């Protein structure tokens, strides 16, 4: 396929089901399997509240993304949204690079999580494992969008099945736990709510993913209708799973054990089911690697989109005529992911990703608000005007609260 400029174009091979699986795959793989114990370290028994707060903040912005993706269904979506709103290519490019960085850091977090779960089966040298995994993922990302997302979709079904195993075997422990009645109602104490909000910042990382969907818009069939539906479906599915899994985790396992584990959900499954935790560890290995694959796809499409807009070097916008994938951009993304994974610790990377993403969310909501206020009528799917207002306020407030708490 050739685009209007005579260059090979990306292939439109994604419908509603594959796009939703793409979104759920990057969201689930990027968070809950790796960070449920880390959230508990901050929020304690109130971990489910931290996930709920993160879901509300993410949900408001998801609705804004749904409208914007229908208005401007192109790669490097956030950069285009900011440019369309404020007619400032520099701001658009900066935001696009910020989004790409979140994907890179997320993928680094996920590959580190992969090593943790893999060590439940066999001890492997971290550096060698990371290099091998990223090399395999690079090949898959170059393979083709339909093929790689279809494979990712199959793995997504497996990882959802793993979370369902945790829920099925752990729900009785959750219901009968003496903490069940209080885990959703933190007392009005500054110290406790400071921990809950710090936990919400980490929990927010587990929701990062739906925004990645807009960056494959040029590979979606009927993006105007498909994108908003897939974004909302992704948020509803992941929020439901996260609240149950978090509630089961904090009631089934002593907090100190949950925090210390490098494979927290494998430990939860082992304790609640009486079966070998390696069963879930195997699922988690696929889950975290799936998230890294999708983040790599997303990051390469952002570089591609920025290059096609003329905001980055042209070679990053080159598409392989046979595979119809941006191969050079994919290799660049892979190298940066490897450097990040080798150089920084998991929790620090996750927190940095959340800060950057919340800042981008604030700007994206402001962009939609400005577009609506000036009366632009492009697009067929519209959200109430209060959605971008509260989306911007809640995203900015979470950043400010955690920055203040860090220096208090």
User: 31: pLDDT confidence band, cut at 50, 70 and 90?
Assistant: low
Cβ-based neighbours of 42, under 8 Å, separated by 6 or more: 50, 195, 196, 198, 199, 202
Find the farthest-apart pair of alpha carbons in the chain and give their distance in angstroms, rounded: 66
The ranges assigned to domains in the chain are 16-377+391-407
Show the beta-strand stretches assigned E in 246-352.
none
DSSP type of residue 11? P
- Residue 366 pLDDT class (50, 70, 90 cuts): very high
Query: What pLDDT does residue 243 have?
Result: 87
Q: Tell me: pLDDT of 236 over 50.
A: yes
The pLDDT value recorded for residue 3 is 45
The structure's pTM equals 0.72
Mean pLDDT of 383-402: 88
Whether residue 288 has pLDDT greater than 70: no
Predicted confidence at residue 369, as pLDDT, reads: 92
Q: How many H-runs (helices) and E-runs (strands) does the chain carry?
A: 15, 0
Q: pLDDT higher for 78 or 59?
A: 59
Q: Which of 6-15, 310-319, 345-354, 393-402 has the lowest mean pLDDT?
A: 6-15
Q: What's the mean pLDDT in 178-202?
A: 80
CA distance 216 to 301: 7
Q: What is the mean pLDDT of the segment spanning 229-242?
A: 87
Partners of residue 220 on adjacent β-strands: 14
pLDDT band at 383 (very low <50, low <70, confident <90, very high): confident
Note the helical H segments in 309-384. 327-343, 346-373
Share of the chain above pLDDT 90, in %: 4
- pLDDT tens digit string along 252-267? 787 777 777 767 777 8
Higher pLDDT, 233 or 208: 233
pLDDT of 2 reads: 40
Average pLDDT, integer, range 327-333: 83
pLDDT of residue 83: 83
Residue 199 pLDDT greater than 60, yes or no: yes
If you average pLDDT over every residue of the chain, what do you get?
78
What integer pLDDT is reported at residue 4 of this predicted model?
A: 45
Strongest mean pLDDT among 35-44, 304-313, 365-374 = 365-374
Spell out the residues 6+ positions from residue 39 whose beta carbon is closer than 8 angstroms to its own.
47, 50, 51, 199, 202, 203, 206, 246
CB 265 within 8 A of CB 284: yes
Q: Give me the pLDDT at residue 1, please.
A: 40
3 state SS of 5:
coil
DSSP string, 113-129: HHHHHHTTT----HHHH
CATH class for domain 16-377+391-407?
mainly alpha
**Top-confidence range, 4-13, 91-100, 364-373:** 364-373
């Amino acid at each position: 396929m050739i685009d209007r400029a005579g260059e090979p174009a990306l292939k439109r091979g994604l419908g509603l089901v594959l796009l939703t699986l793409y979104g759920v795959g990057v969201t689930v793989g990027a968070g809950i399997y790796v960070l449920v114990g880390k959230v508990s370290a901050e929020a304690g028994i109130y971990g489910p509240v931290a996930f709920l707060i993160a879901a509300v903040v993410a949900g408001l912005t998801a609705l804004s993304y749904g409208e914007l993706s229908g208005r401007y269904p192109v790669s490097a979506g956030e950069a285009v949204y900011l440019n369309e709103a404020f007619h400032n290519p520099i701001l658009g490019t900066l935001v696009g690079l910020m989004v790409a960085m979140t994907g890179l850091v997320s993928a680094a977090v996920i590959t580190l999580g992969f090593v943790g779960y893999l060590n439940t089966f066999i001890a492997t040298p971290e550096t060698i494992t990371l290099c091998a995994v990223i090399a395999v993922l690079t090949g898959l990302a170059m393979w083709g969008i339909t093929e790689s997302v279809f494979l990712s979709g199959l793995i997504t079904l497996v990882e959802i099945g793993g979370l369902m195993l945790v829920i099925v075997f752990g729900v009785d422990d959750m219901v009968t736990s003496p903490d069940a009645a209080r885990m959703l109602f933190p007392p009005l104490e500054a110290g406790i709510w400071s921990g809950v909000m710090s936990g919400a910042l980490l929990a927010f990382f587990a929701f990062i993913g739906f925004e990645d969907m807009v960056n494959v818009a040029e590979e979606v069939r009927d993006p105007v209708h498909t994108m908003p539906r897939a974004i909302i479906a992704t948020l509803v599915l992941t929020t439901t799973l996260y609240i149950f899994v978090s509630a089961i985790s904090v009631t089934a396992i002593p907090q100190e054990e949950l925090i210390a584990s490098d494979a927290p959900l494998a430990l939860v499954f082992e304790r609640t089911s009486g079966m070998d935790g390696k069963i879930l560890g195997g699922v988690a290995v696929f889950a975290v690697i799936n998230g890294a694959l999708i983040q790599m796809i997303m990051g390469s499409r952002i570089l591609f989109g920025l290059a096609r807009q003329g905001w980055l070097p042209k070679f990053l916008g080159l598409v392989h005529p046979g595979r119809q994938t941006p191969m050079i951009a994919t290799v660049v993304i892979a190298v940066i992911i490897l450097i990040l994974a080798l150089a920084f610790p998991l929790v620090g990377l996750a927190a940095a990703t959340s800060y950057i993403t919340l800042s981008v969310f604030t700007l994206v909501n402001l962009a939609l608000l400005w577009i609506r206020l000036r009366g632009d009528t492009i697009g067929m799917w519209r959200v109430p005007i209060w959605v971008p207002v509260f989306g911007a306020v809640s995203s900015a407030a979470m950043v400010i609260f955690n920055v203040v708490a860090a220096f208090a």
